[in-house]
Amino acid sequence: MEVATTEIDIRRDFVAEWNAEAIVWEPAEYDRAIVGVVDRCGFEAVAVYDYELLVEVTMESSDCDYGEAVEYVDFNIVGAYVGKHTPMTLYRPLA
C-alpha cells in the first residue's frame, strides 16, 4: 500500500537532499516554516526557517498569544545552537 507524501515529507526530503545531517526542528509541525536551505562556500547546507511562520506555528500548537510565541521561539529555537548543522532563521521585512 502506497502512503501519500505529505508537505512535511517533501520539505524534510528537500533539506536532506542538500545535507543528510542537517537538523530540522521538532515537532514536525515546524516543518511548515521551512522555506529552503542556505548553502555557503566552506559550510554545509542547513535548513532555513521563516521566523514569522515559526511564531505562527507556535501560537497554533501551544494555544498562546503572539508575545508568548515570540518569547518561546526566540529562546528555544532561534537561541538554540545544536552544532554545525543548526538551522538558520530568515527574517522578512514586514509589508
Residue 9: its pLDDT value, please? 77
Identify the residue with better confidence: 7 or 15.
15
Q: Does the model's pTM come out above 0.95?
A: no
Which three three-digit cell numbers place residue 63? 494555544
Burial class of residue 73 in the structure, from the number of CB atoms within 10 Å of its CB (0-12 exposed, 13-18 middle, 19+ buried) = buried
Q: How confident is the model at residue 19 (pLDDT cuts 50, 70, 90)?
A: very high
Position 3 pLDDT exceeds 70:
no
Residue range 40-56, pLDDT digits in tens: 999 999 999 999 999 99
